[in-house]
Amino acid sequence: MAHKVVVLGIFVADAAYRADRLPRLGETILGHHFMLGPGGKGSNQAVAAARAGGDVHIITRLGRDAFADMARDLWRAAGITPEVTEDPDSYTGSAFIFLEAATGQNAIIVAQGAAARISVADVKARRSLIEGAAVFMTQLEQPLDAAEHGLRLARGAGVRTILNPAPAAALTDTMLGLCDLITPNESEAEGLTGVTVNSFADAEAAADRLIERGVGAAIITLGEKGVLYRKDGTSLQVPARAPGPVVDTTGAGDAFNGGLAVALAQGAAIEQALRFGAAVAGLSVTRHGAASSMPTRAEVDRFLREQ
């Protein structure tokens, strides 16, 4: 039986700045810390899944530059199989990340570079890989037509599909109907449904709207309040727990999605998979960085045993 997780998504180099606040236009302020490291939702989710024990492949585009070398080194260390279209006419993407010193909350600008040129043809070229997976997962940082085609190929082959609808974008009911699972946070859920999510009841209402639009089940991630899973009028709530102080939430959603995907690919029931994903996220927020914060399978298993 296939246990592969196939991720369609982008890699960017994260340039993270920690400061008391964002500067106003025309203003320069001094920061407390800087870190350059690997990022991009698709890449982060692939790293989270691989470090958590998954057999992971990533479909993406890179330029031919130092940031592309960073991507390949990262994936090699994590044990990810890269499925890369090299694009020498563009550049490997980068992200500006502001981290608020007092809270660890973030604000992000992404310039996708070559990843903005991920195409339906790139996805078609990996059809057999997608159709042989246990789980196919994608996000919205690359072009929507490529993401939708990947979901369609996976769904047609009976592969479980996960859409992390980030960053927020308008989606058709046709695309939502290809998703076995959708994993928005509060603001993304509001953008897709019009429901302001401030509570578990709000999350249930937003999830029901998404299910009405065609998704199989909805998982609303609620930050420090945990996650809510909704299907067929029934909900599961899984709390957020961290083994130490929260220092950086940048990769938390990606950690959850990667953990969820690998648990499902390895045959876990949904409640077990939700708890596994929440544990991966809980460990990640106690560390700086995005991909660099993803825990190993041994760390996740130990954390789950201690809960």
Of residues 105 and 135, the one with the higher pLDDT is 135
For 102, what's the count of Cα atoms within 13 Å in the CB-facing half-sphere? 3
Residue type, 159: V
Which residues are CB-contacts of 87 (< 8 A; sequence separation ≥ 6)?
Answer: 61, 62, 63, 64, 114, 117
Q: How far apart are CA 28 and CA 51, in angstroms?
A: 38
Strand-strand pairing, 33-39 and 12-19:
antiparallel
Task: Note if 87 is an active site residue.
Answer: no
Q: How confident is the model at residue 297 (pLDDT cuts 50, 70, 90)?
A: very high
From 109, 113, 58, select the one nearest 88 (Cα to Cα): 113
In this prediction, what percent of the chain has a pLDDT beyond 90? 85
pLDDT at 102 over 80: yes
pLDDT digits (tens, 9 = 90+) for 179-199: 999 999 999 999 999 999 999
Average pLDDT over residues 89-96: 93
pLDDT at 1 over 70: no
pLDDT at 279 over 90: yes
pLDDT digits (tens, 9 = 90+) for 219-235: 999 988 999 999 999 99
Set 122, 180, 202, 254: catalytic member: 254
Cβ pair 13, 92 in contact under 8 A:
yes
Strand-strand pairing, 81-86 and 55-62:
parallel
Task: Please report, for residues 161, 194, 219, the alpha-carbon distance to residue 208 in angstroms, rounded to integers and kept in the order given.
Answer: 18, 12, 11
pLDDT digits (tens, 9 = 90+) for 202-217: 999 999 999 999 999 9
pLDDT digits (tens, 9 = 90+) for 135-179: 999 999 999 999 999 999 999 999 999 999 998 899 999 999 999
Average pLDDT over residues 112-138: 97
Q: Tell me what pLDDT residue 121 has.
A: 97
Instruction: Report all structural domains of the chain as residue ranges with CATH numbers, in order of start.
Output: 4-10+40-91+115-306 (3.40.1190.20)
